Amino acid sequence: MKKSIVLLSVLLSASAVEASQPAPQVVVARTTIQAFAKQLGGELKMAMKAGGPVNAIGVCNVKAPKIAQETNKEGSAKISRTSLKNRNADNAPTDWQRAVLLKFEERKAAGEDVTKMEHSEVVGDQFRYMKAIPTAEICLKCHGANIAPKIAAKLDKLYPEDKARGFKKGDIRGAFYVTQPK
Ligand code: HEC
Q: How much distance in Å is there from the Cα of 164 to the middle of ligand 1?
A: 8
pTM: 0.86
- Estimate to the nearest angstrom the gap between the alpha carbon of 158 and the chain centroid: 19
Q: How far apart are CA 46 and CA 55, in angstroms?
A: 10
Element (H, E) at 178: strand 172-181
Average pLDDT of 76-89?
94
Sorting pLDDT into bands at 50, 70 and 90, what band is 62?
Answer: confident
With a cut of 70, say whether residue 87 has pLDDT above it: yes
Average pLDDT of 96-121?
97
What are phi and psi for residue 16, nearest 5 degrees?
Answer: -90, 80
Query: Where in 56-147 does DSSP place strands (E)?
Result: 78-82, 118-123, 126-134
Is 81's C-beta closer than 6 angstroms to any atom of ligand 1?
yes
Question: Percentage of the chain surpassing pLDDT 70?
Answer: 87
More confidently predicted of 6 and 25: 25
Q: How much distance in Å is there from the Cα of 57 to the middle of ligand 1?
A: 8
With a cut of 50, say whether residue 17 has pLDDT above it: no
Is 174's C-beta closer than 6 angstroms to any atom of ligand 1?
yes
Is 64's C-beta closer than 6 angstroms to any atom of ligand 1?
yes
Q: How far apart are CA 126 and CA 129, in angstroms?
A: 10
Sorting pLDDT into bands at 50, 70 and 90, what band is 60?
Answer: low
Sorting pLDDT into bands at 50, 70 and 90, what band is 138?
Answer: confident
Check residue 89 and report its DSSP letter. Answer: G
Q: How much distance in Å is there from the Cα of 64 to the middle of ligand 1?
A: 9
The pLDDT value given to residue 41: 82
Residue nearest to atom 15 of ligand 1 (CA): 61
The pLDDT value given to residue 1: 43
